[in-house]
């Protein structure tokens, strides 16, 4: 499983490859937006546990107030856990898209 920083770097590489400009670690009054594009803001969590998901939701909703909320899609992304499937529909209803990556461990 990759770290949060490695996940951010991977997302930046992908967005850049498809021609989307992206800024990392954008400071706003209330905190730091992990990734910001002209169309979306991303909050990256290593594991999408219940606590991490609620924290990410709060961060995105607060940050959206500072970065023209109607213009930016809000995305929470991280490694899948048992909590992800239960909470994703609630978050979607609140305007936050949840993307969960497979949380795999290397086989020995």
Do the beta carbons of residue 15 and residue 34 sit within 8 Å?
Answer: no
In the predicted model, is pLDDT for residue 77 greater than 80?
yes
| Domain extent listing, the chain | 4-13+20-97
> For domain 4-13+20-97, which CATH number applies: 3.40.1350.10, 2.60.40.10, 2.40.30.260, 3.40.50.720?
3.40.1350.10
Do the beta carbons of residue 31 and residue 64 sit within 8 Å?
Answer: no
What integer pLDDT is reported at residue 107 of this predicted model? 39
What integer pLDDT is reported at residue 3 of this predicted model? 87
Q: How far apart are CA 41 and CA 90, in angstroms?
A: 19
Do the beta carbons of residue 50 and residue 76 sit within 8 Å?
Answer: no
pTM of the model: 0.87
Mean pLDDT across 74-83: 94
Task: Using pLDDT thresholds of 50, 70 and 90, give the confidence band for residue 69.
Answer: low
Give how far the C-alpha of residue 71 lies from the chain's centroid of Cα atoms, to the nearest Å. 16
Higher pLDDT, 106 or 11: 11
Do the beta carbons of residue 79 and residue 56 sit within 8 Å?
Answer: no
pLDDT digits (tens, 9 = 90+) for 8-62: 999 999 999 999 999 999 999 999 999 999 999 999 999 999 999 999 999 999 9
Shortest CA distance to 31 belongs to which of 58, 8, 51?
Answer: 58
Helix (H, G, I), strand (E, B) or coil at 15: helix
**DSSP H or E stretch at residue 59:** helix 50-66
């Amino acid at each position: 499983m990759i770290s949060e920083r490695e996940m951010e770097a991977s997302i930046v590489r992908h967005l850049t490859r498809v021609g989307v400009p992206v800024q990392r670690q954008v400071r706003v009054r209330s905190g730091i937006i992990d990734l910001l594009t002209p169309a979306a803001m991303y909050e990256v969590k290593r594991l999408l546990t219940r606590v991490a998901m609620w924290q990410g939701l709060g961060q995105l909703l607060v940050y959206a107030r500072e970065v023209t909320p109607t213009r930016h899609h809000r995305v929470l992304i991280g490694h899948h856990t048992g909590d992800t499937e239960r909470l994703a529909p609630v978050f979607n209803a609140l305007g936050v898209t949840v993307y969960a990556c497979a949380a795999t461990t290397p086989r020995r």
